[in-house]
Amino acid sequence: MQAVILAAGVGSRLTALSGGTPKCLVEIGGRPLIMHQLEMLADHGVGPTIVVVGYRADEVKTVVGERAQVVVNERFEETNSLYSLWLARDLITGPFVLMNSDLFFDPTILNKLLRESGSALAYDSTSSRGREQTKVALRKRLIVDLGKDLPPSVARGESLGLLKFDEEGRQAILEAAEHLIREGHEDAWVIEGTRAVVSQHEVAGVNIAGLPWAEIDFPYDLDVARREVWPAIYKRRWRKRVYWDRVRWLALAAVAVLVGIIGWQANTQVGPASVDWETVAVEGDAIVPVRTNGAASKPQRWVFVPLGKVAHGTATAPRVSVETRLVLSKGIRSEYRYVIAITVDGEPVTWKAHTTQLDTAAVASVGRVGKRERTKLDLSPGPHEVGVRLLDGHGEQILVRLREREEMDEEP
């Protein structure tokens, strides 16, 4: 899934505080705002990303670097955000996430948006009274209208300016942009194109009430982002780190015992793989055998990990492959999404958003499972504790297996 960040505006209402710095480059938590957005998208497996720039474009391009493809709106002073989106139309080739560059928000919000199977818009039901707010009206979870002119009496919340378009939605928003631009509405906002889309295409409303976010238009908004929103986001990460610091030594001791008791057995009951790859003993809720080549094949040993719990294993080789399978929820989907967090020695190293499908060749006692997904790690010499945790997704359990190898010349 692609992403588009609209960052061409001047941000004149912030000038008193920013000194003329482009709005997307104002610092929050010691980093430019757009870096928070780019890193969040990458953490959730979204990309490639397109950034449309205009005001002081060279400065923004320098910060973005190779993290995204840049499109320049040379007419940023006389056009608006819909025109910027229209300029990127030929690069948007599939479903995509769309956001304004002045949006600062908790990563959980993006995760909630990505979990929706079709097009979706993030809104906050606790905020809908301000004159400057883009308000939304809903019917049975679907957005039926939105705009700053929407009467507060029918509004059910405020739009964040964060949307996800599926393939049909992509075509609808780009067609709406094309129509409005050709009709001379180059100064239209993206919200006007979205308003046209919701009248003909289903866009689900994703309520993110209670999660920290800020749309940074005025100096007061930037102050709130720095003083309230960023500390709230950082605190959530800090709590995770403190948790790892408390439990990792107990986990290491437990893993050491587990390796001594069942390590040999685990290494001799894995499924077909390269003889150079060895399975790392992993601590989790239960061992689940998975057969992938019929009933006569040797079962692979996977660890069952419910949502919120952690699987731990101690790797000693420098090349590690974290393998996961999603235990599929009830209902039939063409694809399933889930997000995992990986730690090394108790420190978060990466988040991965996987899109998987039913593995029709796999037979497991826990029911239907998705295809195997791999995340590769390069570690420094010596033993390292690797932790794997399911954060969210279309399921509440995953199966985990760790493999290690001295060199990574072939797939495990």
- Domains of the chain, CATH where assigned: 2-217 (3.90.550.10), 242-405 (2.60.120.260)
Q: How far is it, in rounded angstroms, from Cα 316 to Cα 320? A: 9
Do 337 and 393 touch, CB atoms closer than 8 A? Answer: yes
Predicted local confidence at residue 289, as pLDDT: 85
Q: What is the pLDDT of residue 277?
A: 57
Give the per-residue pLDDT at 270.
Answer: 40
Q: How far apart are CA 195 and CA 143, in angstroms?
A: 9
Closest CA to 33 of 55, 5, 13: 5
Q: Which residues of the chain have pLDDT under 50?
A: 241-247, 249, 259, 263-264, 266-275, 408-409
The answer to whether 307 and 396 have CB atoms below 8 angstroms apart is yes
Reading phi first (left if > 0) and then psi (alpha if -120 to 50, else beta), residue 236 is in: alpha
What's residue 398's pLDDT?
A: 92
CA 32 to chain centre: 19
In this structure, what DSSP letter does residue 65 have?
Answer: G
Instruction: Please report the pLDDT score of residue 274 as a whole number.
Output: 38
> What tokens appear for 144 in the block?
């039926």
CA distance linking residue 389 with residue 316, whole number of Å: 20
Instruction: Give the tokens for residue 173.
Output: 């928003």
Task: Report the 10 Å Cβ neighbour count for 74.
Answer: 11
Q: What tens digit of pLDDT does each residue of 289-335 get?
A: 888 876 556 788 898 888 878 888 888 888 899 999 999 987 777 78
Residue 216 CA to residue 231 CA, distance in Å, equals 16
